[in-house]
Amino acid sequence: MSSTTVEQKRDTATSPDAGLNLKPSGRRATAGSDAESLTLKGDMQTVGTVTVENPLFQCKDVNVYYGEKHAIKRVSIDIGRGEVLAMIGPSGCGKSTFLRCLNRMNDTIPGARVTGSIVLDGQDIHDKRQDVVQLRARVGMVFQKPNPFPKSIYENVAYGPRIHGLAADRIELDEIVHTSLRRAGLWEEVKDRLNQPGTSLSGGQQQRLCIARTIAVNPEVILMDEPCSALDPIATAKIEDLIDELRATYAIVIVTHSMQQAARVSQRTAYFHLGDLIEVGETDRIFTNPRHKLTEDYITGRFG
């Protein structure tokens, strides 16, 4: 890690707005439940192991500010190869914000500031030499609402490889489109209508088309932001089965409002609360025996 990282860390630790998001006065004095008093500690310690043996992403002391708002507070977590990491937590807890740090999507938001270090495969993604377009090819993203381009099914998948120059000729491009659609479990359904618009597909198919589009540029990580919230249960089950298959090849980070979905698809789960990373652990353990009271309250539906 570079020396700038250490300085950034020190900066945020002493920055005047470090504790801004805590509700002022009263809370510290009342300290009703254990859970609440725990959240009051300015220096929130994440429960569980945040590191993994074979990390692809290493995030250390990541802070995100939207103007005055301190949206992510000193979050440290590794993302391993071949795993699905689920990020859960109530609305506004920062899980999507953190996800968007991983491919620098927050850069596009005015007033957003990210500190700390996010290292992908040994290289800091905030390094000046880092090409953001290249980064987003390595770290693909699938969004809540399927958003195919207003082009044919074929072109939706071919677009990425074409702009990144991944195919030498039409034959290679065809091959990439074919493999990507097959991997996304969509090939059988669309092979006879590749020239029809992507928007003519059903919602679940569109989402799988978006996944095909993402994997067409050969990423290492796929970020998914609520990929199933606009889909029916059957389409959801198909995507979940696909996620389970894709994790052999890609690291996957999924943000979901459905903790049942997190339980079904992930190997590790991270619970966020008001910008703090409260707990990280094996999904098996988090959903049967969480250590932090806030985690337990959330997953048992006793929140708030």
Partner 1 sequence: MIEGHTSRAFDGALAALHMRVIEMGGLVVDQVREAAVAYTEWDSKCAERVVERERTVNAYDRSIDAEQLTLIARRQPMANDLRAVIAMSKAVGELERVGDESKKIARTVIGRGSRPGSATTRDARHLGRLAVSLLRLALDALDRIDPALATEVIARDKELDAEYAAGMRRLLTRAMEDPRHFDVTLEAAFVLKSLERIGDHARNLARHVQSIGRDASTFPAAGLSTSSVTPQESHS
Cα 36 from Cα 100, distance rounded (Å): 28
Nearer to partner 1, 217 or 299 (CB): 299
3-state SS assignment for residue 267: coil
4 in contact with partner 1 (CB under 8 A): no
Contacting partner 1 (CB under 8 A), which of 56, 283, 293, 298?
283
CB of 106 to partner 1, least distance (A): 31
* Closest of 205, 248, 223 to residue 101, by C-alpha: 223
* Closest of 181, 210, 207, 179 to residue 193, by C-alpha: 181
Instruction: Using alpha carbons, list the distances in angstroms from residue 217 to 122, 123, 214.
Output: 21, 20, 6
250 in contact with partner 1 (CB under 8 A): no
Nearer to partner 1, 65 or 271 (CB): 271
Contacting partner 1 (CB under 8 A), which of 50, 263, 274, 277?
263
Cα 17 from Cα 21, distance rounded (Å): 8
Q: Decide the pairing of beta strands 251-255 and 221-225.
A: parallel
295 in contact with partner 1 (CB under 8 A): no
Cα 126 from Cα 119, distance rounded (Å): 8
Nearer to partner 1, 44 or 262 (CB): 262
Q: Interior CA angle at 139 toward 86 and 63, to 5°? A: 65
The angle that helices 203-216 and 233-246 make with each other, rounded to 10 degrees, is 20
Cα 286 from Cα 277, distance rounded (Å): 14
Q: Report how many residues bind partner 1 under the rule CB under 8 A.
A: 13
Nearer to partner 1, 126 or 238 (CB): 238
Binding-residue pattern over the window 207 to 246 for partner 1, x denoting contact by CB under 8 A: ---------------------------x--xx-xx--x--
Nearer to partner 1, 172 or 241 (CB): 241
297 in contact with partner 1 (CB under 8 A): no
Cα 206 from Cα 219, distance rounded (Å): 19
N- to C-terminal Cα separation, the chain = 39
CB of 242 to partner 1, least distance (A): 10
CB of 136 to partner 1, least distance (A): 29
Contacting partner 1 (CB under 8 A), which of 208, 213, 264, 292?
264
29 in contact with partner 1 (CB under 8 A): no
5 in contact with partner 1 (CB under 8 A): no
Nearer to partner 1, 7 or 284 (CB): 284
Nearer to partner 1, 123 or 288 (CB): 288
* Closest of 95, 89, 104, 65 to residue 77, by C-alpha: 95
Contacting partner 1 (CB under 8 A), which of 33, 51, 134, 260?
260
288 in contact with partner 1 (CB under 8 A): yes
271 in contact with partner 1 (CB under 8 A): no
Pair of tokens at residue 237: 């089950």
Alpha helices in 76-117 (DSSP H): 95-101
Residues at the contact surface with partner 1, assessed by CB under 8 A: 234, 237-238, 240-241, 244, 260, 263-264, 283-284, 287-288
